[in-house]
Chains A and B, each alone.
Chain A
Amino acid sequence: MVKTIKKMRPLMIVEDSDEDFEVFCWALQKTGFTRPVIRAESAEVALTHLFPELLQADRIDPLPCLVLMDLNLPGVNGLQLLEQLSKMKQLLSIPVVIMSTSNNPLDIEACYCFGAAGYITKPFKLEDYIEKVRALTHYWFNTVMLPEGSD
C-alpha cells in the first residue's frame, strides 16, 4: 500500500479507484516525476497515515509534502476529510489539492473554504490529463517551495 523512498517527503494521493490511481501513476511517469508516492484508498486510511496519534499508533511513514485528494470517496468523503484536516494545526503546513471529476461550482467553493490549495477537474481526454499533471508537478515541485523539514 505504501511505497516510500527515504529522505524525500512523499506525495500522497487519496484515491479509491485503482484504475484512476494507475492512470495517475502512468501520467506521473510520463512527466518524469521521481518523488515517492504513497496512496490511501480512503479518507480513514489517509487520516491514520497523516495523524496516527488519533489511534494512539506510532508514526511509521514520513508526512507527505503535498496531498492530492479525490472528492468522491467511500465512507467519509473528500470534502469531510478536508474539513477534518483543516481543523488540525499540525497538518496545516501540508497543502491539499483536490482532483475531482466534479466541476460543480458548489463543490469547488466548498473545497477552498476548507482550505484546499487548489482544485483540478480531471479532464476526460488522457492527453489533457497528462498536461494537467505536468502543470501540477511543475508548479508544486519546480516552481514553489514545499515544506521539506523532517517530522
Chain B
Amino acid sequence: MDNSEVWASTSKSWVNQVSREPVDLTHCDGEQVQFPGAIMPHGVLLILTLSDFRILGASANTGFWFGCDVEQLLHCHLDRIVAPDIQQTLETSLAHITEPELPRYLGSFQPAQGNHRFDVFAHRSCDVFIVEFEAIPAEVAENGSTGRMAEVSECISRLHAAETWEEGMAIGARELKRLTGFDSVVGARFLDDGSFHAIAETCESYFPSVLDKRFPRSDIPEPARRQMLLMPLQYALDLDYEPVPLVIADQAHEPLQIDLGFAVLRSISPMCRRFYRNMGVQSRLVISLVDQGELWGFFSCKNATPRQVVYSDRLVLKLFAEMSALLLVEKERAEQLQDALQIKRRISKIAAELSSADVFSDVLIQLPEQVLDNLDVTGVALCLDSKILCAGVTPEATVIQALISWLDEQGQSLFTTDRLPTLFGSTTQSLGQATGLLAGCLMESGQYILCFRPEHVHEVKWAGNPLKQIEIDVVSGEERFTPRGSFEVWKQEMRGTARAWQFYEIEALTDLQQAVIQLQYTENQRVLRSQLAQSNAELEAFAYIVSHDLQEPLRGISNFAQILVDSSSGKIGQQELSWLNTILNLSGRMSHQINALLQYSRASQQPLVVQLVDLNLLLHSVLEDLSATIKNTETQIQISQTLPTLACDRIRLASVFSNLITNAIKYNDQAERRIEIGCLENPTLTFFVRDNGIGIPEKFYDKIFTIFRRLHGRNDYGGGTGAGLAITRKHIERHGGCLWLESTPGQGTTFYFTLGSGLVFSADNDGDPHD
C-alpha cells in the first residue's frame, strides 16, 4: 500500500496555516533551512520538556496518526499516546540524551490508538527534546538485517576493487540503485569553486540524464551544504507534500524558532523541492560523502514516484555511504599522491644536484630546462638581477621585467595564480600566452623563478544555463529568480584561466626555491670570502712592494751622506758634520723599520714550509743563537717539559721563540732575570714563555701586537722597531694558532700560543694549508 496519496489529501487542510516561503534564489544562501516550523507528513514530531517529558508542542497531524488532536496532547505526558510501559521505556531513553547530537533510534512502537507502527527517534535541540515517530508502512515486512548487511558487504567489496575513484563512483551508483530500487542514482564530486560534477549515473531511460554535466554552486546553497554535513543521509518520501506545521502550547517557543536541523522529518526547503520537481522527482534520498569534515561529493537517488525507504534500510545505506566515502577519497588521494610522488622525486633530484654543485652559474643555466622537463608547465624563467634565463614559451624579457616589479609589489615569497592576465592587467597575448603563473622569490627581491602555463580552454557541459535563472512569475508577472526548469545540456567554453596549480606542484617549486636560495647564499659567501682574500693579498703585496722599493732610495740617501762625511773631512764644521750624522742615523732607523715591514709582509705572504720539527732541538738552537745576550744579562732559562715533535715551519717557529725570549730578556729590570719555557697539553697543546719582567698593563694587551707600536721610549729596554710581536703573531696565525698573554705589571708576563692542528706536511716541503 502506498500512503502518499492519503497523506497528500489529509495534509490539504493545513495549507493556510503554514508560512509559505517565496521561492527565490537571491536569499537562498541566507535561508534558515533548519527552522522551517514544519515537517514532512509521513510521521509525527513531538516537542517535550527537558525536565518532565511533558508535550510542549507537536506537528499538526497527530489526529491522523494517533487519533488524537494536537490540542488534546499539549501539556500531557507520553502516556496519552502510548501504553505506560512504552512510556516508561521512552522516558528512560530520553533521560540518557544529554547532548545535542544526531537523533538516537529508540525502537519501533505502536501507539495505543491507530494501526500504524512507528520508528521512534529522539534528540535534543536547545532546551527541548524532539521525538519523531516515522510511520512504517504496513507492507514493510521485518526483513532480516543479516541479509541486508551481507548485501552491503558485497557492494563494498565491489567498490573496493575499482581501479580509479571515478570507476568507484560508477560502481557505487549502480549498487545503490540495486539496494534502493530508485529510478536514478547520480554520483557527484564537488569541485574547488563549489560547483559539482555528475561523475556517475545509473538511470532509467525516462529520466533526463545529467551524466558528465556540471551544476553551479547555487544549485546547492550554503545552508543546504551545512545540512548535508549535519545529516549525511537525507530522505524525502514524497516531495509533493504539504508541510505539516508545528503547534506549540508554550508562549516561550515559536514554531519557527525550533531548530529541526537534526530532525528526520524536517520539512525540506521549498526551493529544493521545486528544484527536484522540475526534474520530475518525487522521492529522493541524498547520501553525503564527507572527507575530514568537508563535503567531498554525494550520491543522489531519485524516483519518479514516492518510494519508501524505512529506517533500517537507511541505516544500512548510511553505513554503505560512509564506507564508500572512505574508499573513494582514498582512491582519489592515492592517484594524486602517485603524481605528487613522481614530481617530488624528480624535483628532489634537481634540488639535490643544485645543492651539491660547485659552480654556481653552470647548474643555474640548466635549471629552467630541467624544470620545464619535469613540471607540467610550458615556460620557465629564472630571473637573477639583470639576467633572465628562459626555457620553453615565456613572455618577452621586457614583460618579464615588468612582471617581476609587479611581483615585488605583491610581496609574497610564493605567488600562484591561474588567471594572470586579469590580475596583472594585461592581455594573454602580450604575456606570451601565459595565463597560469607559479612564482617563487629567491634570495633578493627582483630575483624569481617563474613557471608559466597557457590558458586552458575547455568546454563545460552545464546542466542547463546556470546564468539563466530569471523566469516570469505566472501569478504576479514579476521577474524573479527561480530554479531552472531545464536541465538540457548547456555548453560553455571556459576561457581566461589556466589549469589550477596542484598542491604538489606548488610544493615542488618551494623545494626548488629553497635549493636555489641555499645555492645563492653559499655563492654569496664564497664571493665575499674570495674578495676578502684578494683584498688581503693585495694589501700584503702592496706592503711588500712598498717596503722593498723604499729601501733603494733610502740606501742612496744614506750612501751619499756617508760619502759626503768621508770626502769632506776638514772642509765642514762640527755642526754640519753632526747634521750629516743625523741624516745617517735617521736613514738607518728608517731602514730598520722598512726591513721590519718587509719581514711582516713576508710573514703573511710567503707559503709555509711545513716539516716535522723536534721543538727541543729547535729551541736549543734558538737559545744557542741568543747565548751572548743570555750570558750578558745573566738570565736563568728553565725548560719545564720535553717539547713535542710536530709539523710546522721551522724558520717561522724559531723566529717566534727567538722573539718571545728576546722580549722576555729585554723587558726585565730584575736583578735576577728568569724565563720559563714549556707547554701545556690540556685541552689543546699550548706553548708558553714566562718571565719575571716588568709586565704589561691589561689596557695595552691589544696594542702591543700592532706593528711599530711601542710602549716605551725609543731607546729604553734596548730599543727596537716595535714589529717583533706583530710578526710573531702573524707567524702563529699562519700556522692556524693564536697568541695571547697574561701579565701582572711588576711581576712578569706569560705569552701563550697554540699552533693549529691539521697542518699538512709534505715531503718536498712546500705544503701550505693556507694557500
Contact = CB atoms under 8 A, between A and B. Distances in A.
Say which size band chain A's interface belongs to: 10 to 19
Interface residues of B, number: 16
B14 interface: no
A124 B556 contact: no
A145 to B, nearest CB: 32
Given A23-B556, A23-B559, A126-B559, 11 more contacts: A19-B560, A26-B563, A101-B552, A101-B555, A104-B602, A106-B606, A122-B555, A124-B588, A125-B558, A126-B562, A129-B559
B606 A124 contact: no
A134 to B, nearest CB: 15
B414 to A, nearest CB: 57
B548 A124 contact: no
Contacts of A126: 558-559, 562-563, 566
Interface string B645-676: 00000010000000000000000000000000
A106 B602 CA distance: 11
A23 B558 CA distance: 11
B552 A124 contact: no
A72 B602 CA distance: 17
A106 B768 CA distance: 15
B240 to A, nearest CB: 109
A105 B651 CA distance: 11
A129 B562 CA distance: 11
B49 interface: no
A120 B588 CA distance: 20
B563 A23 contact: yes
Contacts of B305: none
A125 B588 contact: yes
Contact of B556 (A19, A72, A105): A19
Q: Tell which of B551, B552, B566 has the most Cβ of chain A within 10 Å.
A: B552
A106 B558 CA distance: 27
Interface string B584-620: 0000100100000000001000100000000000000
Main secondary structure of the interface of B (DSSP, over half): helix
A17 interface: yes
Nearest to A16: B552
10 contacts: A19-B559, A20-B556, A23-B556, A72-B552, A101-B548, A124-B555, A124-B591, A125-B588, A126-B558, A126-B559
Nearest to B551: A101
Contact of B552 (A17, A105, A106): A17
A151 interface: no
A122 B563 CA distance: 16
A58 interface: no
A4 interface: no
A129 B591 CA distance: 15
B768 to A, nearest CB: 13
A20 B566 CA distance: 17
Interface of A: 17, 19-20, 23, 26, 72, 101-102, 104-106, 122, 124-127, 129
Interface of B: 548, 551-552, 555-556, 558-560, 562-563, 566, 588, 591, 602, 606, 651
Contacts of A125: 558, 562, 588
B586 to A, nearest CB: 13
Contacts of A122: 555
A72 B566 CA distance: 28
A129 B558 CA distance: 12
Nearest to A24: B559
A83 to B, nearest CB: 20
Nearest to A123: B555
Contacts of A124: 555, 558, 588, 591
Contacts of B566: 126
A23 B588 CA distance: 17
Q: Tell which of A17, A101, A122 has the most Cβ of chain B within 10 Å.
A: A101
Contact of A102 (B548, B555, B606): B548
A138 B606 CA distance: 35
A127 B619 CA distance: 34
Nearest to B554: A124
Contacts of B555: 20, 101, 122, 124
A72 B591 CA distance: 18
Contacts of A17: 552, 556
Contacts of B563: 23, 26, 126
A150 B44 CA distance: 143
B547 to A, nearest CB: 10
A73 B295 CA distance: 90
A136 B614 CA distance: 38
Nearest to B609: A105
Contacts of B588: 124-125
Top-10 shortest CB links A-B: A126-B562, A19-B556, A23-B559, A124-B591, A126-B559, A101-B551, A124-B555, A26-B563, A124-B558, A101-B552
A117 to B, nearest CB: 24
Contacts of B560: 19, 23
Q: Tell which of A20, A124, A129 has the most Cβ of chain B within 10 Å.
A: A124
Contacts of B562: 125-127
A10 B588 CA distance: 34
A102 B563 CA distance: 23
A47 to B, nearest CB: 23
Nearest to A17: B552
Nearest to A106: B606
A126 B602 CA distance: 26
Contacts of A72: 548, 552
A41 to B, nearest CB: 15
A72 B545 CA distance: 11
Contacts of B591: 124
B757 to A, nearest CB: 27
A102 to B, nearest CB: 7
Contacts of A19: 556, 559-560
Nearest to B556: A19
A105 B607 CA distance: 12
